Amino acid sequence: MTLLAHLLLLFSIISATSAVPLKTLHQLFLKADADANANATQSYYPSLPPSLDPWYRAPTTHDWTQTDPGQVLKIRHAPLLNLTVRNALRAYQLLYRSTDSAYNPSWDVTTLFIPRWQARCWSTAASTRWCAHALLSYQLPYDTCNVDASPSFGLQLVGEPYGEVADALGLGWFVAVPDYEGPLASYAAGVQAGHATLDGVRAVLQVAGYFGLRMDVAKVALWGYSGGALASEWAAELAGQYAPKLRIAGVALGGLTPNVTSVTEYLNGREGAGLIPQGLMGIATQHPDAYRWIVSRLRPRLRGLFLSVRRMTAAQAIATFQYQDIYGYFVGGYQDLHTRVMQMMYNVDGYMGYHGVPRMPVFIYNAINDELSDIRDVDELVDRFCGVGANILYHRNTVGTHTQELVNGRQRAFAWLRSVLDGSYDEVYSSMGCTIQNVTYNIAPWVGWG
């Protein structure tokens, strides 16, 4: 079956179920097929940033809040991503129904990449062996409360920073990259991020079969490092109660930040201090009382600078606030960030390990000398999960930093993910209990913040 036939079939099914209520969806898919087959040197321009793009809005044609979490609400072709991300045959953006940290209806966006070798699936009628059998939800760390830095837009401008999406596509996997911070860019809000990640997988699975994913045998895995690990870990522990029917084969987590208040104290006065205002403004978007408190307690002469993080990327915030005492921006200093209203926010969205136990195998890799988060917090999280029956492989790297472990752990993560996605996990790794190992992998040069 050709891609055009797949798209027409997808259109007919979606139209019947009103999953994607766009009048021009038929024409959009026809145009998408024509664009995707155009000359490879064709010039494309990125869409508007999310804050200005009408597509990044919930539908107005029907009450989308009454649909199920993970329901696809809009879909569009993203042709520029074919050029900025290696090994991508085509890319699509899906806007889907989700749930915020207060369990109110919300929406999010994910970007679905089709691997290049999927063309053999579409062009070969004799066998389905060329059709992909795996979906990786890759949570890219974007660590900012600026919605215009969301991956669905940023990937069009500069491509991916680490090459991991391209490598996963090179293995023939479908890859989805969600804007897991949501429409408010709720950086560090764990429940929001976990819901968005799980619903992004559910949304992709609604349409992936029509693009050739072998739904009869397809396995799903999650992967994230640093801020991406935050979203992936929260998805793993929320899955049992929020998405009990969603089957996830495994979750790989690197550079974990299990405790938001501990991270704040750990980063203050260090190079990465700029992540503190980003995190505070991001998580507080899910907690209006805490947001008002934060703004009210900022010193008047410093308020404008602190609030300017809403327009910054993570790198810009780090450059602006590096080595500063962030507590000094507040009238009451440290105490202003530990009042009752702030603690209520942290209790909901800031501490991993209290919302459920991962029911799938988990691989955790962390540098012992991580400069962003105290390794003892990761140890405590692993101990908590292992004490109630989780299946975890935990690598504590004796060398490197947070930024270097991004590279040092990459091949181990890929090897582990391949085992859960090709079905060989039980043959390679222990499928019962926890394995905790101190390891030494030192292959990375210094790399930027992730």
Both tokens of residue 442?
Answer: 């030192």
How many Å apart are CA 46 and CA 34, to the nearest integer? 18
Q: Exposed e or buried b for every residue in 380-411, given b needs 16+ CB within 10 A?
A: bbbeebbeeebbbbbbbbebbbbbbbbbbbbe
Contact yes or no for 275/257 (Cβ under 8 A): no
Torsion angle (degrees, nearest 10) of CA 58, 59, 62, 65: -20
What is Dmax (Cα atoms) for the chain? 71
Contact yes or no for 365/254 (Cβ under 8 A): yes
Give the list of residues 6+ apart from residue 280 with CB closer than 8 angstroms, or none. Answer: 188, 264, 294, 337
Helices 190-208 and 340-349: angle between axes, nearest 10 degrees: 30
Q: Catalytic residue among 370, 373, 377, 395, which?
A: 370
Contact yes or no for 137/178 (Cβ under 8 A): yes
Select from 152, 145, 140 the least CA-distant residue to 92.
Answer: 152
Select from 279, 159, 280 the least CA-distant residue to 227.
Answer: 279
The partner residues of 77 in beta bridges, in order of sequence, read 92
Tell me if residue 62 is catalytic. Answer: no
Q: Catalytic residue among 101, 186, 226, 419, which?
A: 226
How many Å apart are CA 300 and CA 287, to the nearest integer? 22
Both tokens of residue 259?
Answer: 């405790």
DSSP 121-173: HHH-SS-STTS--EEEEEE-----S-GGG-HHHHHHHH--SSSHHHHHHHTT-
Burial class (CB in 10 A: 0-12, 13-18, 19+), 140: buried
How many Å apart are CA 13 and CA 211, to the nearest integer? 13
How many Å apart are CA 61 and CA 74, to the nearest integer? 12
How many Å apart are CA 443 and CA 299, to the nearest integer? 44
Tell me if residue 226 is catalytic. Answer: yes
Both tokens of residue 231?
Answer: 């979203």
Contact yes or no for 292/344 (Cβ under 8 A): no
Both tokens of residue 235?
Answer: 């998805």
Tell me if residue 370 is catalytic. Answer: yes
Any idea which residues carry the catalytic annotation?
226, 370, 402
